[in-house]
Amino acid sequence: MLSSSQRFPVSDTSFADYGCMLEIRQVELLADGRSLVDTIGRQRFRVLRRGHRDGYHTADIEYLEDKKVSGEELQELQSLHESTYRLAQRFCEHGDLTSRHILLQHGALPDKEEDIQASADGPTWCWWLLSILPLEPSYQLSLLSCISLRARLSQLQRVLTALLQQPPPRHLLPERSPRGPV
């Protein structure tokens, strides 16, 4: 895993104010010299200060944690969590998410955790869903930086509801003529 003062290759563009530490799970060296790196997100962070060292961008960061709730607020959060997860399941069944490409790249929708506040980053399935939804990167970044699980779930619920109101994607089939495939 990477440390809290990270190096980023220098380019003409800067980097976002928020990010996620990645755990490298596997590296495959390809014949042409490139590498295929399998990673999983572990901890969200906010950039406090930026710098440069040895030709790389550097950053001092602060790890983010969701605000914990209790009592009636936790019960309401549990209910929101349940209903949003059900929408996520419907969405996965609704569209083309069972395609081999999605399953190979992202795996299946993760199981719902019982303790939604066990992780500082909230339920894993939310981040899986965020990675497959057709959202603008700036909107994804706003959800990544959000430290309220209630707010994040509410936004995901709105997005899922809107997407579920759209007709499912239709696969294009080759045109046929009376004499067979064209």
Judgement on whether residues 98 and 137 belong to the same structural domain of the protein: yes
Judgement on whether residues 31 and 114 belong to the same structural domain of the protein: no
pLDDT grade for 3, boundaries at 50, 70 and 90: very low
> Integer distance in angstroms from the first to the last C-alpha of the chain?
53
Q: What is the pLDDT of residue 129?
A: 92
Judgement on whether residues 90 and 19 belong to the same structural domain of the protein: no
Judgement on whether residues 13 and 42 belong to the same structural domain of the protein: yes
Counting other chains too, the contacts that 166-171 makes at CB distance below 8 Å and 24 or more residues apart are: 168/94, 168/95, 168/96, 169/95, 169/96, 171/96
DSSP state of 117: T
What percent of the chain clears pLDDT 70, i.e. is strictly above it? 79
Predicted model pTM? 0.76
Q: What is the pLDDT of residue 132?
A: 87
Residue 82, Cβ neighbours under 10 Å: how many?
A: 13
| Greatest extent of the chain over all pairs of C-alpha atoms, in Å | 69
Q: What is the pLDDT of residue 16?
A: 86
Q: What is the pLDDT of residue 40?
A: 83
Provide the residue range defining the domain that includes 111: 71-164
User: In the numeric block, which tokens belong to residue 94?
Assistant: 């609704």
Q: Is the dihedral of CA 136, 35, 39, 13 positive or negative?
A: negative
